[in-house]
Amino acid sequence: MHRCLIPTLISLALLTGCATSPTGRSQLVLMPESEMKQMGLQAFTNIKKETPVDRDTNANRYVDCVANAITREVGGNWEVVVFKDDDANAFALPGGKIGVNTGLLKVAENQDQLATVLGHEVAHVLSNHSNERVSQTFAVQQGLGLINALASPQSGTGQTVMGLLGVGAQYGILMPYSRIQESEADLLGLDLMAKAGFNPQESTVLWRNMERAGGGQPPEFLSTHPSHGTRISSLRAHMPVALRLQQQARERGKRPACK
């Protein structure tokens, strides 16, 4: 019986197993994109059930303005929701879903700092980081079972999968991205926000503010090392590239003014 599975596993691995991240790193990516999207949608549904949505017009207009400028650079349809939650956190999910907590709006002091966080989160999605984590944690044979697990997020597997998607904090389970993934999201996110015309130099201010705000459940983007100093110095090292990208964006008329 088991022998029948092997050709399927091998062809699945050949089809989707070997991928390259946007920074050129080779990745183990076993889940089909369609299933990752399904998982993202299911996770977003779960969060919306558990967390009140903020309908405040000004907050929504501001967050939409920043998020749309970022997602315009990557294409696709994205849904953006503001959640009433004091934790300074945000997330992006495969399938084009973005969540921003009201608590983040108190720590990110301006549009450029908010763009830093959203660029970072969208970069995790573009880099297939959750696919990589799911692939490393579960064997392919789990496959569709993971989507079913998400349908009951209170189950052990359901919580683990939420954690792997980067939204586990909502369920009291924090599963940090790897250091490599975090650095990748930082640099790719910086390019992304700069290409949208935001000021990349605000990124280092944001990470300092985040650290100062600290306390409580650490958000996804502070939950793992790179240590704070390392993160800021690699952003600084990449700053000349990002500033050039911002300059080009502004010459093309991309001058976001989100308030």
Q: Does 185 bind Zn ion (CB under 5 A)?
A: yes
* Burial class (CB within 10 angstroms; exposed 0-12, middle 13-18, buried 19+) of 174: middle
Minimum distance between the CB of residue 76 and Zn ion, rounded to whole angstroms? 20
Beta carbon of residue 69, minimum distance to Zn ion (angstroms, whole number): 20
Q: In terms of CB distance, is 216 or 240 closer to Zn ion?
A: 216
* CA distances to 9, 10, 209 from 5, in Å: 6, 9, 51
Q: Which stretch binds Zn ion (CB under 5 A): 74-82, 111-119, 185-193, 227-235?
A: 185-193
Instruction: Please work out the total of residues on this chain that contact Zn ion, with binding judged by CB under 5 A.
Output: 3
Shorter beta-carbon distance to Zn ion: residue 177 or 198: 177
Nearest-angstrom CA–CA distance, 31 and 140: 7
Residue 74 CB, shortest distance to Zn ion, in Å, is 16
- Nearest distance from residue 117's CB to Zn ion, in Å? 9
Query: Which among 121, 132, 182, 202 is annotated as catalytic?
Result: 121
Determine if 221 is a binding residue for Zn ion (CB under 5 A): yes
Known catalytic residue at 121: yes
Applying CB under 5 A, which part among 8-16, 36-44, 207-215, 218-226 lies near Zn ion?
Answer: 218-226
Q: Which is nearer to Zn ion, 147 or 192 (CB)?
A: 192
Name the residue whose CB lies closest to Zn ion. 221
Q: Which window, 45-53, 147-155, 180-188, 228-236, contacts Zn ion (CB under 5 A)? A: 180-188
For Zn ion, which stretch binds (CB under 5 A), given 61-69, 71-79, 147-155, 221-229? 221-229
Which residue, 171 or 221, has its beta carbon nearer to Zn ion?
221
Residue type, 121: E
CB of 181 to Zn ion, least distance (A): 7
φ, ψ of residue 92 to 5 degrees: the values are -135, 145
Binding site for Zn ion (CB under 5 A): 177, 185, 221
Q: Which residues are catalytic?
A: 121
